[in-house]
Amino acid sequence: MIAALVQHAVGAPLLNGGIFVFFVLVTLVIVFRASHRTKTAADYYAAGRSFTGPQNGVAISGDYLSAASFLGIAGAIAVYGYDGFLYSIGFLVAWLVALLLVAELLRNTGKFTMGDVLSFRMRRRPVRAAAAVSTLVVSFFYLLAQMAGAGGLVALLLNVSSKAGQALVVAVVGLLMIFYVLVGGMRGTTWVQIVKATLLIIGAGMLTAWVLGSFGLNLSALLGEAAAKSSHGQAVLAPGLQYGKNTTTKLDFVSLGLALVLGTAGLPHILMRFYTVPSAKEARRTVVWAIWLIGIFYLFSLVIGYGAAALVDGGPQRIASMPGQENSAAPLLAYQLGGEVLLGFISAVAFATILAVVAGLTITASASFAHDVYANVIKRGNLDPDREVRVARITAVVIGALAVLGGIAALGQNVAFLVALAFAVAASANLPTILYSLFWKRFNTSGVLWSMYGGLISSVLLIILSPAVSGTPKSMFPSLDFAIFPLKNPALVSVPIAFALGYLATVLSKNDIADPAKYAEMEVRALTGAFAERSLESPVDIPSQPRPPLRPMPAATAYSIPFGSTGDSPAELTAKPPELTPAAPIDRVLRRRVLMATGVLVVVVVLGVSVSMTRVLAAPPQGANTTPQLGPNTAADVGPEVAIPALGGIIQVGKTPAFVAVSPNGRHAYIANGKAQVVTVVDTAVNQVTATIPIPAGPPQFLAFAPDGRTLYVSIFNDQRTIHAIDVLDTASNTVVATIPQPARPYLAAVTRDGKRIYVPNHDTASVSVIGTDTNTVIAEVKVAPNPHWVTFSHDGTRAYTANHESNVVSVIDTTTLEVLATIPVGASPHSISVHPSLPLVANVNYDGGTMSVIDTNTNKVVATIPVGQHPQDIAWAPDGRFAYVVNEGSNSVTVINARTNQVTATIPTGANPTSIAVLPNGRQAFVSNVDSGTLTVLELTG
């Protein structure tokens, strides 16, 4: 999008690509340099514990400031104002939990993974299995969201619009990421994070200084200008624009706030970073650095967000109307201020961010599988570290491949809820267990299992039952409705559930007594760091208990026998030589363990992949959810539930604007001016006429875009019925390139989704002509009931629907056999027809009946008839499918219908004799052509 913008505005787009490649090369060099020092398990998982607190603090900021934090928060502030700022505060305050309660204690008691700490004084295998399940779920969902977002973001920045191109981008991201992980291990990815985070913060600092400088360092002036530029005015300076609609959305926000503040310290890929430093003191410095860097960065974001609103040409409206919507705010600002070089720099940093974050997630997931599941659950700790690292590397490849497949499947889908899910699971399953383990002596294995699985299952279940998955047109399955839980974020309920389950299960399981000696050991280790620094450098030498120097002991087992009451002491901290372990009836046990572990992995993977696959199969090809949603950008998740359009202004567009169509990219509106014999072009960023194209063949009446937007088909006829033709208009040059003669008056045509055929309703011959776009000649004719006005296609392209004015029916045409499959009686004089963006519904308006009919396309029956104004002439759906807009020519108004309840929610006045309506693909504005006023009425749809 941005590249397209640059192309559009300046005409030199290759720079982005060059800077991207340069960045990738630099990171590859870094990874290679790190590779020859990655040999042991501690090297691979924890970078040999060689990083200093400040280095790790920068890296952890890099992990945390994903592309979403960077682009999403600045963008949310630019478009929604204050509400974007709220998210950044939750993300920041969360670090205090990590600083005070988690980081140091965790560093002192664990080795590589969350499972190390949780299993320290519990029955090792079930607890490790639970920790691994939770880690894999969180990491995989987070990874999937990042990968899907990567495709979207890079597509946005490099102007790759085809599905295949985006899939290729995801595959390349995946390959690079696997390479980072395999070759560089934790050390390589950490260095990549450090470089990237430094550049990101420098870049953001430059933008901030630039913005503040242009307002004379006056924050108030900046805020005033941002409010002046926004259509929401002063409302952008206070909370409530985005989620303040009703009590449910407000509670949803509180729930999200809770998930953010408690989830961060439970995110496995963040936790694992605490092991890359040599001591708890360095872990503390890590968090301190992270807090300062992240805090300062979010303060920058505040200025960048409002700065983008105030300074970008066209203001927040233009940002929101960009294909990347609010994600484009920071890049647009960079371009506005520093031209292409700064834009390329910011874009490349965003790309590097995705690479580094997915690499960190993959290491975490592979470590959890290899270390927790394979080495300790399956092999019971009897695995040499080299072999374990080999397993981790193989797992990383598998996870990387799955992430690529899942990411491709989820491309362009709304996967933002996966991020919300990741935070909610981290807050519900991980944090309560971590806190109980560290601070509650009595906490036992039952408590761990109930709390983890309870938190995991309740948060996943509540999300499945939430509006994020079903029940609204924006849901994953818009056609189903099992959303019995009203909140999109489950944390408000699932976090208390997890705490309560952990408590109750512990208190009620009287026989399951946690080993008090292990608790004593854990607490002393946690607070003092005894044996943490030295021993963890080389895991094989760890004594479980330090021995008085003068008393020779056979092995560390000397202490673990009397105190390891469950017989299941944490072997990862025990220097047990492998051969000393009882080689029990291992075959059967082993097989069971393998089955269990494979099961865990398969469940996670199948869930992830099938969710995205079904989404792809169930989703419309041109849904509204094409915005990339990355990282913890849950901003868009708590959207407004009620949109009452407001009048947005009037554009003079010539004498008789009878029909308006918006280009598929939303940048232009084309208006057919019949009497003037011109097509008028309006730039939707500024809502001004930018071109007037003469149509010498005759009066233009209707306009149909090819799906790629490059060609516009103009239906031409005159009142005397002596002229009937279709003009082919090239939108790049805005010139007519061909004229196709027609046998009768062509009404509103439609182009098939593949762009190969045009269907033209011939008003006077009761037929539809099928024209091949390659030769511009009629290749077939389909007889329908008299007289077809409008034609449109189903999303899968297998059906065409015509509204037949004189016979009060809608015809359904099979586009393969060109047979009429059904004729559906509707109201009096069906004039126009429109397919719902996601549900199996088609709606038409009945000109003489004054109604709108809704047809279920599965049964081909009318399922609702809704009274609207007089002489409804045109209908359009909101791109998210929540509302239908009907233009009433006879009552000079637009009727807004809630698609879910079929109730009229608003009626808005227009100019004289409104005849058509076109909605921008981003759903924010619509244009109504007023044929007798010579104007377009602009409707602000999002209120």
Partner 1 sequence: MSTTERVGGVGTPPPVDPWAAAHTSTDFAMLRQRFRGFVFPMTAFFLSWYLLYVVLAAFAPHYMAIKIVGNVNIGLIFGLLQFVSTFAITTVYVQFASRNLDPLSSQICKRVEGGVW
Residues making contact with partner 1 (CB under 8 A) = 82, 85-86, 89-90, 92-93, 95-97, 99-101, 218-221, 223-224, 227, 234, 237-240, 243-244, 250-251, 253-254, 257-258, 261, 281, 284, 287-288, 291-292, 295, 298-299, 439, 517, 520-521, 523-525, 527-531, 534, 545-549, 551, 559, 562-563
> How are beta strands 809-814 and 646-652 bridged, if at all?
unpaired
Closest distance between partner 1 and the C-beta of residue 147, in Å?
31
227 versus 771: smaller Cβ distance to partner 1: 227
Q: Tell me which residue of 68, 56, 146, 147 sits closest to 103, measured CA to CA.
A: 56
Closest distance between partner 1 and the C-beta of residue 292, in Å?
7
Q: How far is CA 921 from CA 242, 411, 489, in A?
A: 20, 18, 27
d(CA 158, CA 166): 10
Joined tokens for residue 741: 């003669």
125 versus 525: smaller Cβ distance to partner 1: 525
Closest distance between partner 1 and the C-beta of residue 525, in Å?
8
d(CA 324, CA 636): 13
Joined tokens for residue 632: 């913890």
d(CA 648, CA 658): 20
Tell me which DSSP letter residue 470 carries: B
Q: Determine which helix (DSSP H) or strand (DSSP E) holds 591, and give its type and residue range.
A: helix 586-618
Confirm if 557 and 574 have CB atoms less than 8 A apart. Answer: yes
Cβ within 8 Å of residue 84, ≥6 positions away:
73, 74, 75, 76, 77, 78, 301, 305, 635
36 versus 551: smaller Cβ distance to partner 1: 551
Q: Tell me which residue of 818, 810, 870, 806 sits closest to 835, measured CA to CA.
A: 810
Closest distance between partner 1 and the C-beta of residue 539, in Å?
17
Closest distance between partner 1 and the C-beta of residue 291, in Å?
5
Q: Determine which helix (DSSP H) or strand (DSSP E) holds 853, and give its type and residue range.
A: strand 851-856
Q: How far is CA 733 from CA 7, 705, 728, 737, in A?
A: 15, 15, 12, 10
Q: Where are the alpha helices (DSSP H) in 81-123?
A: 82-97, 103-109, 114-118
Biggest CA-to-CA distance, the chain: 114
d(CA 529, CA 279): 7
d(CA 17, CA 40): 37
554 versus 582: smaller Cβ distance to partner 1: 554
528 versus 735: smaller Cβ distance to partner 1: 528
ω before 858 within 30° of 0 (cis)? no
Closest distance between partner 1 and the C-beta of residue 118, in Å?
19
Closest distance between partner 1 and the C-beta of residue 79, in Å?
17
Closest distance between partner 1 and the C-beta of residue 486, in Å?
15
Q: How far is CA 139 from CA 144, 172, 311, in A?
A: 8, 20, 38
430 versus 711: smaller Cβ distance to partner 1: 430
543 versus 743: smaller Cβ distance to partner 1: 543
Q: Tell me which residue of 416, 221, 397, 267 sits closest to 327, measured CA to CA.
A: 416
Joined tokens for residue 630: 């990355």
301 versus 844: smaller Cβ distance to partner 1: 301
Q: At 695, give phi and psi (nearest 5°).
A: -120, 90
3 versus 102: smaller Cβ distance to partner 1: 102
Closest distance between partner 1 and the C-beta of residue 569, in Å?
12
Tell me which DSSP letter residue 734 carries: T
Closest distance between partner 1 and the C-beta of residue 198, in Å?
20
120 versus 801: smaller Cβ distance to partner 1: 120
Closest distance between partner 1 and the C-beta of residue 88, in Å?
9
Q: Tell me which residue of 83, 332, 30, 360 sits closest to 199, measured CA to CA.
A: 30
467 versus 478: smaller Cβ distance to partner 1: 467
Closest distance between partner 1 and the C-beta of residue 82, in Å?
6
364 versus 560: smaller Cβ distance to partner 1: 560
d(CA 36, CA 25): 18
Taking the C-alpha atoms of 112, 118, 120 and 124 in order, what is their torsion angle to the nearest 10 degrees?
-100
Joined tokens for residue 810: 């809608």
Q: How far is CA 20 from CA 151, 181, 340, 395, 711, in A?
A: 14, 20, 13, 28, 32
89 versus 401: smaller Cβ distance to partner 1: 89
Q: Tell me which residue of 604, 174, 76 sits closest to 411, measured CA to CA.
A: 174
d(CA 348, CA 708): 27
Joined tokens for residue 365: 């997931």
103 versus 894: smaller Cβ distance to partner 1: 103
26 versus 527: smaller Cβ distance to partner 1: 527
255 versus 687: smaller Cβ distance to partner 1: 255
Confirm if 800 and 768 have CB atoms less than 8 A apart. Answer: yes
DSSP for 354-410, written as a single string: HHHHHHHHHHHHHHIIIIIIIIIIISTT-S-HHHHHHHHHHHHHHHHHHHHHHHHHT
90 versus 934: smaller Cβ distance to partner 1: 90
Closest distance between partner 1 and the C-beta of residue 247, in Å?
9
Closest distance between partner 1 and the C-beta of residue 109, in Å?
12
> How are beta strands 777-783 and 841-846 bridged, if at all?
unpaired
HSE-CB of 404 using CA atoms within 13 angstroms: 19
89 versus 650: smaller Cβ distance to partner 1: 89
Q: Count of CB atoms within 10 A of residue 823's CB?
A: 15
d(CA 245, CA 858): 34
Closest distance between partner 1 and the C-beta of residue 535, in Å?
9
Closest distance between partner 1 and the C-beta of residue 572, in Å?
17
